[in-house]
Amino acid sequence: MRGAGWADPSRSVRATITQASLDRAFTILMAIAAIGFGAVNVSGLLKQLPYLDPVWAPASAIVMALSLVAVGVSAIAQRWSQVAQTVCALLFLVALLTFPLTVDRALPVDQVPWPWWLCNVGTIAASLSFATWRAAVYNALVPIIYFVLRLSPAGGAVGLQRAFLDGAYTAVLGIAALVLIVVLRRAAAAVDAAQATAVRRYSRAIREHATEVERVQVDAIVHDSVLTTLLSAARADTPDAETLAARMARNAIDHLAAAASDGPGEDQIVPFDVLRDRIVASVTSLGAPVQVRSVPAAGPGLPFSSADAIASAALQAAVNSVQHAGDDVSRWITIVADRKSVEVEVADDGTGFDAHAVPAERLGVRRSIIERMAAAGGEADLRTAPGSGTRIVLRWPALGAAGDGEAADGDPGLGRDGAADRDGAADRDEREARG
């Protein structure tokens, strides 16, 4: 039997912002900042070298430069980004702490220790790679260490006010970056969790819907192809009834064979003329006369499941009419189509019935017509009342899917929410039917 063939939504649904994409963006920005700040401040470091130890100062600067290069390269090999950022943050802290040991003579007042230019590179690297509380401690230590350094002769002995301002500037930028990174990461994690929850619920809903569609298809086939045939054969007491039962038995065998061999997958498109000919041939071969009032020459192609549903529902509507509408009854079928929709009306002027009085356990129109059409993306309108005949209108696609729910092709009596039948029959929204 043709299944729903649903795809796993977790493979196709993608959030705009995820924690992985955010971390990727942070890694790229960190790489740009590391390489950029390092390159821009090379000239300042070279000017400061005469005041520094000729061995340890260049060695310290080279090691720090290599860590910045590693951070830059990690934008390409992102699996190493956290390691590179962690090493960079730790090496910067070591360079800042050991800077006084690399100074031969006091720096001029107009110069700042070269680690100053990389303070925020270190604090942001720590914010990205450390746990939140460790990053907070790091962002508090760096301004304090730099404040003490600026007060010392090795840092220029600039005085309390200048040292405090430099330390406060470093602290504000570092803490602001830390807060921004933490907030964005938590927001992205919430998006990831919400997406995962939505995908799980959507997957469950799809499975439940597919199960319901399959159940409707099975119920419809059992009713159409088995129960109806058996009941017709049991009641066949005239040659015409026996002929009808034999034809229904052949149709049942063909239908069951086709359902058994049909597998899940994408629907093939059925040309309109194939669908039209199938409907006309099946309805007019029942033995009882059925007048074909209108058959268009052209119409839209339909997915196989939709074409099969509308053809099977039309046949079942005609079978119900033959079985229950009474003798000497006029029956007719009308097919209307345009470029995007198909509408099939199967009607008679027989006895009609009270749909509200039909027991719930009777499958009939409910499974074989109404729910079958709904499962295939269409809809079925039942118009009947005792003594007023029966009219069943099959429409694909459903009006809610084709537009805003208004009637198509100038027929206001066929709207989804229409209250009036074209002939003044009862409410179109009857959802129970005879078996």
pTM of the model: 0.48
Are 273 and 193 within one domain? no
Q: How sure is the predictor about 217, in pLDDT bands with cuts at 50, 70 and 90?
A: low
Q: How sure is the predictor about 413, in pLDDT bands with cuts at 50, 70 and 90?
A: very low
Are 41 and 190 within one domain? yes
Report phi then psi at 413, rounded to 5: -75, -10
Is residue 424 in some structural domain?
no
Are 193 and 313 within one domain? no
Q: Which of 166, 197, 228 is the last residue of a domain?
A: 197
Q: Where are the beta strands (DSSP E) in 282-366?
A: 291-294, 302-303, 331-337, 342-348
Letter string b/e over residues 240-262, b meaning 16 or more CB atoms within 10 A of that residue's CB? ebeebbebbbebbeebbeeeeee
Mean pLDDT (whole number) for 95-112: 83
Largest CA distance in the chain: 122
| Alpha-carbon distances, residue 76 vs 21, 25, 71, 79, 198 (angstroms) | 14, 12, 10, 9, 32
How far is C-alpha 82 from the geometric centre of its chain's CA atoms? 32
pLDDT at 383 over 60: yes
Per-residue pLDDT tens over the stretch 421-432: 333 333 333 333
**Chain-wide mean pLDDT for the chain?**
77
Q: Which of 152, 172, 197 is the last residue of a domain?
A: 197
Is residue 237 in some structural domain?
no
Are 287 and 153 within one domain? no
Question: 122 is written with which tokens?
Answer: 């270190």
pLDDT at 6 over 50: no
Are 182 and 277 within one domain? no
Least confident of 52-61, 247-256, 365-374: 247-256
Q: How sure is the predictor about 91, in pLDDT bands with cuts at 50, 70 and 90?
A: very high
Mean pLDDT (whole number) for 64-72: 90
Residue-level pLDDT at 243: 72
Are 275 and 136 within one domain? no
pLDDT at 317 over 80: yes
For the chain, the residue count is: 435
Q: Can you give the residue range of the structural domain that contains 119?
A: 11-197
Are 274 and 175 within one domain? no
Least confident of 242-246, 274-278, 285-289, 314-318: 242-246
Residue-level pLDDT at 93: 92
Instruction: List alpha helices for 361-407, DSSP H.
Output: 364-365, 372-375, 399-402
Q: What distance in Å separates the CA atoms of residue 238 and residue 257, rounded to the nearest whole number?
A: 29
Is residue 261 in some structural domain?
no
Residue-level pLDDT at 304: 83
pLDDT at 401 over 70: no
| Alpha-carbon distances, residue 65 vs 53, 59, 60, 340 (angstroms) | 17, 10, 9, 67
Residue-level pLDDT at 227: 59
pLDDT at 286 over 70: yes
pLDDT at 117 over 80: yes
Is residue 134 in some structural domain?
yes
Tell me how many domains the chain contains: 2
pLDDT at 420 over 50: no
Is residue 132 in some structural domain?
yes
pLDDT at 10 over 60: no
Residue with tokens 């159409």: 224
pLDDT at 288 over 90: no
Mean pLDDT (whole number) for 89-118: 86
Q: Provide the CATH number for the domain around residue 396.
A: 3.30.565.10
Are 323 and 410 within one domain? yes
Are 62 and 193 within one domain? yes
Residue-level pLDDT at 418: 36
Residue-level pLDDT at 137: 94
Per-residue pLDDT tens over the stretch 24-48: 888 899 989 888 888 888 888 888 8
Is residue 382 in some structural domain?
yes
pLDDT at 136 over 90: yes
Per-residue pLDDT tens over the stretch 321-367: 887 887 788 889 999 988 888 999 999 988 888 777 666 555 566 76
Are 165 and 288 within one domain? no
Is residue 328 in some structural domain?
yes
Is residue 216 in some structural domain?
no
Are 186 and 273 within one domain? no
Q: Which of 159, 181, 197 is the last residue of a domain?
A: 197
Are 33 and 124 within one domain? yes
Per-residue pLDDT tens over the stretch 172-200: 998 999 999 999 888 888 888 888 888 77
Least confident of 312-326, 360-374, 405-419: 405-419
